Amino acid sequence: MTRAPSRPSTARLDKIARSHIQRDPWPDFDAFDAGAYPEALRARTARQWWRRAREEYGSIHEFTQVAHALTTLRAPIGLLGSLARLITDEVRHASLCAQMAEALLPGRAPDEVFDWKPPRAPWEGPPAEGTLRWAADAVLCSCCIGETISRPLFEALATVITDPVPEAVVRQVLRDEHLHATFGWEALAWMWERLDAADREWLQGRLAKRLAGFERGCLVGGVTLESIAGQAIEVAPPGADAPPNLGHLDPKVYAMIFYATLEAEVLPRFAALGLDAERAWRERSLTPAEAAPSA
């Protein structure tokens, strides 16, 4: 008697897919007193909330593309189910961040202040060939790096915010980030096992490019790696006389959290998976010719 092949083991992904999503009540945006804060502060912070909304909106498009690619590859149900949860999470996150941006500037039509065009995907859709490595690159970038780093960033943001409404928004988003990162590492491990040597080497090169892209995005406000080298991170709740914070992080703190999370978590996990994380970090700023192995 021929036995049917066993279903692939994706226990941690199955757990994500089966987790009951206990949502906190929608934040009471009507309780936010915009008039208590200077308009310049509200406008500056609103742009940051709107940027977060567009990033989350972009994730909806991106994860939907990945879901389609992995469905065509007949990925196990645990992987597809947990990815489906990620998509619904991102819909909620985009809505929360957009509504927070609007609450900061009451009485002004959103289309007069913000650009809500559908986002461009950060890469083209899955190709006819090489779908698996394309999906691995997408998950490597957005989940393994992006979601892993976003967790400590949102934790810091929740610590320094001084108003309960934007804090509630941050904490709702934060509740999902660890699951999104876990999905990334588990899904990438599943795909890595199925990539051949050529595709693994291709993904190695993509890792260097992704690290370079994140580094460019995290070094803002004139912050450089040299300017923060050797410094410790300290994110403490604001004191009674602290200026109001409606949802922004100091660029220096942002960059320091980025590098600390890379060093302590992201790069070691790539190395454990089988990628050469040290090589990718060295090659992140090299030209293709410089990065090519010598004969």
Average the pLDDT over each of 21-25, 38-42, 153-157 and give the range with the smallest value.
21-25
How does pLDDT run across 61-102, given as a tens digit for each residue?
889 999 999 999 999 988 999 999 999 999 899 999 999 999
Could you tell me the sign of the dihedral formed by the alpha carbons of 220, 222, 226, 230, in that order? Answer: negative
Instruction: Identify which of 86, 146, 88 has the alpha carbon closest to the alpha carbon of residue 122.
Output: 146
The H or E element containing residue 47 is helix 39-72
Phi first, then psi: give them for residue 262, nearest 5 degrees. Answer: -60, -50
Instruction: Identify which of 44, 39, 82, 35 has the alpha carbon closest to the alpha carbon of residue 63.
Output: 82
Determine the pLDDT at residue 153: 94
Determine the pLDDT at residue 289: 43
What six digits make up the tokens of 6? 């066993």
> For the chain, what is the mean pLDDT?
85
| Contact assessment for residue 100 and residue 247, using Cβ atoms and an 8 Å cutoff | yes
Instruction: Identify which of 156, 276, 267, 157 has the alpha carbon closest to the alpha carbon of residue 215.
Output: 267
How does pLDDT run across 159-215, given as a tens digit for each residue?
999 999 999 999 999 999 989 999 999 999 999 999 999 999 999 999 999 999 999
Whether 17 shows a pLDDT value over 70: the answer reads: no
Instruction: Please name each of the domains of the chain with its CATH number.
Output: 37-203 (1.20.1260)
How far apart, in whole angstroms, are the C-alpha atoms of residue 83 and residue 75?
11
The H or E element containing residue 270 is helix 267-273
| Contact assessment for residue 169 and residue 32, using Cβ atoms and an 8 Å cutoff | no
Determine the pLDDT at residue 113: 63
Whether 230 shows a pLDDT value over 90: the answer reads: no
How does pLDDT run across 102-132, given as a tens digit for each residue?
999 988 766 666 676 666 655 567 777 889 9
Instruction: Identify which of 20, 67, 65 has the alpha carbon closest to the alpha carbon of residue 187.
Output: 67
* Number of Cβ within a 10 Å radius of residue 90: 23
How far apart, in whole angstroms, are the C-alpha atoms of residue 286 and residue 209?
9
Determine the pLDDT at residue 220: 75
Type of residue at 73: L
Query: SS3 of 25, please?
Result: coil
How does pLDDT run across 269-278, given as a tens digit for each residue?
999 999 999 9
Query: SS3 of 124, please?
Result: coil
How far apart, in whole angstroms, are the C-alpha atoms of residue 245 and residue 248?
7
The listed range with the strongest mean pLDDT (44-48, 202-206, 235-239) is 202-206
| Contact assessment for residue 203 and residue 140, using Cβ atoms and an 8 Å cutoff | yes
| Contact assessment for residue 49 and residue 32, using Cβ atoms and an 8 Å cutoff | no
How far apart, in whole angstroms, are the C-alpha atoms of residue 70 and residue 150?
24
DSSP label of 3? P
| Share of residues in the chain with pLDDT > 90 (%) | 58
- In degrees, rounded to 5, the angle at the alpha carbon of residue 14 between the alpha carbons of residues 12 and 20 is 105
Phi first, then psi: give them for residue 114, nearest 5 degrees. Answer: -125, 160
